[in-house]
Structure 1
């Protein structure tokens, strides 16, 4: 239960993240309101990281301007710069510490824009400090210094264009007014240059702002994909957890029910066999003997069905354990043929054997191989009409291993139904209509058992021409023959190989 609740919490968090990311991408307006917080936070981080840089620049400007302007006015201006810078940094610091969920972006942007405007006006006032001389050098110095500050402020505030305008327009306006008051063509040209440079910077910053917004859009798309992947993973994990719990419950149910069913079934089989054989005397009514025989056959069928269900459940759950020993595939196939011969003869079928000679043993589970061969033979005999032919073949496979195949002349399987017959309890429509009843577990069990041996399962069928099923064991399961060891002291026979232990071919 704790795992399920934790999984549900992850799923809800992933869903909220996906919703937030998608909401960002749904806005197509130029302002991109869902990105306003990120853009404002970029400005705040830039401002806080350069909290000392611009005041130091103000000190440099004040020291340089002392050659042309009164020191007391410059000191007063410098104090105003520090105060307004402190106000701006303080507001930015408060914004950075405020929880995002509690931030009203519009209000904070207005506060920061007002502080930036005040800071820009303070910087602009240096233009109006009274120079001691009317030399071109003093005005050129101030002009250059203010343009440097304008470029810095635009770069810092490029993510929020209203702050760009609030911080730089006062400085450019101050230059234009001051130089216009001088009423000199040279200063008029410098004022025009200041306006042109300002417009050029605005154009650059607008493009940079668009690039930043595009970057945020791409990041939002990436976050959306990541959140969707996390959501899909959480859903998949939850489904896997439920499937594992269901599989565990199924395994427990089957283990319990197999025991509970086998106990009464063994009693039914035992008593019905006694009744059928009339061990305690003949029945007064011969019909009772037929009933006892029917009960015994039905019990045997039900016991076989239980065994098949348990086998396929263990195979699907990966809990089928192989007990591997050296076995002869030819002997197993011959034994299975003897067991099924009477059934085939009763149905009027001919079973042909085609066993290649001198085949090596294989390293495999004897019970599993016998079950594979019996399943294939039983299916072939079941679905082949009277006077038909079944061919049982054991030979070398093209891959170098050993192959066992069973071919019949039955009704065949349509191509579109082959996947169905390979699923548990699946049967082909034509075969189901023309043959005896079955559980539909024979082929899935066969396929699962051969795959546990790292082998290959192939089914070829043509409608009204029959079916051929081939199971192949890989070369790694073939037992190699080695020469006998020579007695101590005797020379090694000419041409004999170095003795080695029995091994599986690789």
Structure 2
């Protein structure tokens, strides 16, 4: 009997212990469930907050993009509105100065005309700088990257600014002529940067001072420096140098400027895979240094050879009419020489896509040759505009571009160009393309004449 009671007691103790463990397990499970629910609630709340933050961020990004586009559109519209009266201001001032022989001006009138012309040109330059800054920020800056001779560009800039330097009493020293290396850059933009740097070096110099332009080849490219002997820049303001609309305390000075030129110049240098740096010592002068990638392969020697004659069919007026749409002055000058050598073609030039579209409608040329990287409308947009207009739809169009990769040429051919030529210009190939297209145009014109 006693043994049975012991067994019952042990069993009851075990049962009570199991009941206690079960109770504790249930309590632990409830606690863990509560923790889990709390964590799930926190994760849900964190996810909701994250989604709300992302939505807010997206909305802010869209708002910033819309504001940037609105700013660009405003500046473009404002530029158009300002250019119209500036055209009259600069144009009539030029006319008054050119007609001074037949309609003499007094000394005071002549000085007044010079002031009007200078102010108009300065305002036009400011408009261009603001627009360039807007285009760069919007990622819409058109660049034509090619091998460029930096010595030639630098010497041309110095030659154009010699009168300004002489008027300021500053000695301007251009780099000596040195052959052997070039840079990869946009010729027009490189000239713009150098004009800004050299002009600033003259403007902020002192009477009797010097501006020295130097070029040399470094380990990582070509280095072009513009050094002056002006007042220099305080060390504590160097960090502000490339900020837009910041004239470093010269806002109240009589020197013209808006504080945009250096900002635009640095952005242009970066767009050409280069960089623009500055150093200065207050009271001694400043030095601006432009680094650009070197052109690894020099251009082949140009050997004069016979240009194939054009077998141009008879056109009304005795010659075919060609419209060339190109914004690079050196390319335009080259084409004028080529057409003069080829003969039998009347050449007309437009320097922007919009001007090319308008001139094509008015002129109705027999053939159009256009660059791809054009300001305003690019070559593809210009071709689409020509195709959309019944007056210009049938005019054959040739493309001439520095974009020579297969990935560039294929879209050009599928866009409907009669041929896609690449730079540097292969004159015999260009002559053959002109022969082929103009003969087709002549034969079509002759067939139409017979039917009529």
User: With structure 1 as the length reference, what TM-score do the two structures score?
Assistant: 0.53
C-alpha contact (below 8 Å) 2:154/2:175 kept by paired residues? no
C-alpha contact (below 8 Å) 2:146/2:185 kept by paired residues? yes
Q: Which has the higher strand share?
A: 2
In 2: Cα distance, 1:232 partner to 1:207 partner: 37
C-alpha contact (below 8 Å) 1:410/1:466 kept by paired residues? yes
Q: Aligned-pair distance for 1:205? A: 4.6
Q: CA RMSD in A?
A: 3.3
Matched position secondary structure for 1:305: helix
1:466 and 1:256, CA in 2 relative to 1: closer, same or farther beyond 3 A?
same
Q: Aligned-pair distance for 1:425? A: 1.6
Q: Aligned-pair distance for 1:258? A: 2.0
Matched position secondary structure for 2:297: coil
In 1: Cα distance, 2:285 partner to 2:39 partner: 59
C-alpha contact (below 8 Å) 1:329/1:361 kept by paired residues? yes
Cα displacement string for residues 81-117 of structure 1 (whole angstroms, at most 9, x for unaligned residues): xxxxxxxxxxxxxxxxxxxxxxxxxxxxxxxxxxxxx
Q: 2:231 aligns with which of 411, 416, 432?
A: 411
- Bigger radius of gyration, 1 or 2? 1
Q: 1:479 aligns with which of 297, 308, 312?
A: 297
C-alpha contact (below 8 Å) 1:359/1:395 kept by paired residues? no
Matched position secondary structure for 1:396: strand
Find out whether 1:444 has 2:266 as its counterpart: no
2:355 maps to which residue? none
2:71 maps to which residue? 250
Q: Report how many aligned residue pairs link the two structures.
A: 303
1:344 and 1:483, CA in 2 relative to 1: closer, same or farther beyond 3 A?
closer
Structure 2, gaps ≥5 residues long:
304-422, 425-452
1:202 and 1:420, CA in 2 relative to 1: closer, same or farther beyond 3 A?
farther
Find out whether 1:282 has 2:101 as its counterpart: no
1:224 and 1:479, CA in 2 relative to 1: closer, same or farther beyond 3 A?
farther
2:54 maps to which residue? 233
Matched position secondary structure for 1:385: coil
1:398 and 1:276, CA in 2 relative to 1: closer, same or farther beyond 3 A?
same
2:327 maps to which residue? none
C-alpha contact (below 8 Å) 2:93/2:116 kept by paired residues? yes
Structure 1, gaps ≥5 residues long:
1-135, 137-182, 486-501
In 1: Cα distance, 2:34 partner to 2:234 partner: 58
1:386 maps to which residue? 207
Q: Which has the higher helix share?
A: 1
In 1: Cα distance, 2:286 partner to 2:28 partner: 71
In 2: Cα distance, 1:396 partner to 1:435 partner: 38
User: With structure 2 as the length reference, what TM-score do the two structures score?
Assistant: 0.59
1:366 maps to which residue? 187
Find out whether 1:333 has 2:132 as its counterpart: no
In 1: Cα distance, 2:207 partner to 2:38 partner: 72
Q: Aligned-pair distance for 1:319? A: 0.9
Map 1:413-428 → 2, pairs under 5 A: 413-428=233-248
